[in-house]
Amino acid sequence: MNFQIAVERLRTFLKIIAAGGKEAIKLPYAKFYILLAVPLTIVFLLFTFPYDLVIREQIKKLEGRVARNIFIGDMQINMLRDSYIEKIQMVFDGGAELNLMDIDCDVALNPVTTLFNKTAKGDVAVRNLTYNNGESILKAALSAIFAIKINPQTGLPSDGTIALKMRNISLKGITIKGFVIPPLQIPEADGNGVIKNSELTITGIRLTGPDVRGTISGTVMISRYAGGAPINLVIELDPGSAIFEEYRVLLGSIAKQNGGPVRITVTGTLQNPAVSFPNTAGNMH
């Protein structure tokens, strides 16, 4: 087709569109309907935006970095009420597994914050959290309120705040001086954290319950490889906790050092923590 003919046809088409537009504007309430169409279009985009696909993609991007494998179960994202995720399972190098089951979340979602600003704000509740590294098992219910900024290069939190609550905590498989002690039960653990430059600073998690009472504070680096994330934690336990009475042969001398809190340091990485007890060669797996 001759280029000049194509240009003429395009001009004719645009003139028809322009003429139709002018006639449409003259209709009763035409301007009102045009103005109304703008917010309605925005609302339509907000409610039909494929948030579930975006969230799945962001979580799957962590595969091979944070965890070796990540499985995501059924996901129901809702703008007007809590969203639901059936299950998130992470398998780390070395075989450790983290399972998050029955997840309710209420997160502020819109294309601007989700895609462009890379921020996440809201709360999440995990009814069943299980971490198993083959030697020890942690089970709990978890809830958190957070406001974080995501690093677009790594997909990991870089800055923000988080408030944590854990309930019905069970710790099984803890080894002290070569002896495996029965499961510890901790009814509650509450605390806050601040994320800055991909480092989580725990300002004080309070442990309450008859078996163990105390606080946890320190730092955890948010690493692309979760198992290799460096940790530097201090656990201060009340010497009146039942664990010191029940296992006084192993721990009694620790609690009697000065009558104050029993200070335990945890360093190394999340996958291979090094636990140091005062004046004893204890270790925990």
Task: Return the DSSP state at 226.
Answer: G
Q: What is the pLDDT of residues 57-107, one digit of tens each?
A: 777 777 776 778 888 888 887 766 678 889 999 888 778 889 999 999 887
- The proportion of the chain whose per-residue pLDDT surpasses 90, expressed as a percent, equals 22
Which pairs count as long-range contacts for 68-74, CB under 8 Å and 24+ apart, including other chains? 68/92, 68/93
Q: DSSP labels for 154-175? A: T-SEEEEEEEEEEEEEEEE--E
Please state the pTM of the whole predicted model: 0.70
Give the pLDDT band (50/70/90) at residue 31: low
- End-to-end CA, the chain: 77
Reported as a single tens digit per residue, the pLDDT across 32-59 is 656 666 666 655 555 555 566 777 777 7
- pLDDT band, residue 122 (cuts 50/70/90): confident
- 169-218 pLDDT, tens digit per residue, is 998 887 766 777 778 889 999 999 999 988 999 988 999 888 888 999 99
Residue 232: its pLDDT value, please?
93
Copy the structure tokens of residue 122. Answer: 């809201």
Q: Smallest Cα–Cα separation from 243: which of 281, 277, 279?
A: 277
